[in-house]
Amino acid sequence: KAGVTQTPRYLIKTRGQQVTLSCSPISGHRSVSWYQQTPGQGLQFLFEYFSETQRNKGNFPGRFSGRQFSNSRSEMNVSTLELGDSALYLCASSPIAEPQETQYFGPGTRLLVL
């Protein structure tokens, strides 16, 4: 099976712009989670979607949003970008939403905000 894919891999934006990142999970996986990774804060959970419904949300401002489509592909959007949004954004998928399930990560999208 193909792994989790994320597009684009690299992105440069300026403050105030908005950005949309895409994630295609492993075929058959219904749960998709998004994380922000920075050197200062580590891995922080953004949100999780299961069967097109947001079931969990981390402690991020409303500028961060996401959605999941019927084919389980997911997008996340960040509006009004700030310098502090520069990070590696990781998407992970799992077959079902259970605590013992492994998270399968994509390579990430590295966002630089200037």
Partner 1 sequence: AQSVTQLGSHVSVSEGALVLLRCNYSSSVPPYLFWYVQYPNQGLQLLLKYTSAATLVKGINGFEAEFKKSETSFHLTKPSAHMSDAAEYFCAVTSSGGSYIPTFGRGTSLIVHP
Q: Could you list the residues that contact partner 1 (CB under 8 A)?
A: 4, 33, 42-43, 45, 48, 56, 90, 92, 97-108
Pairing relationship of beta strands 53-57 and 5-7 according to DSSP bridges: unpaired
Given the complex with partner 1, which of 65 and 104 has the nearer CB atom? Answer: 104
Given the complex with partner 1, which of 48 and 85 has the nearer CB atom? Answer: 48
Q: Minimal distance in Å, beta carbon 46 to partner 1? A: 10
Alpha-carbon gap, residue 62 to 2, rounded angstroms: 32
Given the complex with partner 1, which of 58 and 79 has the nearer CB atom? Answer: 58
Buried b (16+ CB within 10 A) or exposed e, 1-24: eeebebeeeeeebeeeeebebebb
